[in-house]
Amino acid sequence: MELIALLSSGKGTWAQVSGLMKHGEWEKIILLGSDFAKDFKHEKKFEFIKVDLNKKLKELRDDLSQKLRGKFEGMEVALSIASGDGKEHMALISALINLPIGVRFAALTKEGVIDL
């Protein structure tokens, strides 16, 4: 399964994304974020897609839809929204659903990577 994760401001939230990347078995990893997030580093290969998280909700959703179109091989993705705020989460989920692509929420817990 492919993993898509949002990297918003607040590097403290990036640890969840990093752990999820490290402990999961992913066919592909796509990270979304602003200029602030482009400095994110990880041992696993990933694609970074720059987005302007300051856009209004509908504009952000449309931008995400455009940039994510054609990026996925399967019918669903694992999604991490551990980083970000409600507006960013709504825009990303809406963009994925409108592609259309199924979403499984993924999180790293003490027991390992789980689907929610």
Q: Which tens digit of pLDDT belongs to each residue from 37-47?
A: 888 999 999 99
99-108 mean pLDDT: 94
Residue 10 is predicted with a pLDDT of 66
pLDDT for the residue numbered 32: 97
Q: Answer whether 67's CB lies under 8 Å from 75's CB.
A: no
**pTM of this structure:** 0.92
Residues 80, 20: Cα–Cα separation, whole Å: 8
Q: Do 20 and 106 meet the contact criterion of CB atoms below 8 Å apart?
A: yes
DSSP E strand stretches across 12-101: 28-33, 47-50, 76-80
Looking at residue 49, its pLDDT comes to 97
Determine the Cα–Cα distance for residues 80 and 105; give it in Å rounded to an integer. 6
Name the nearest CA neighbour of 22 among 48, 37, 42.
Answer: 42
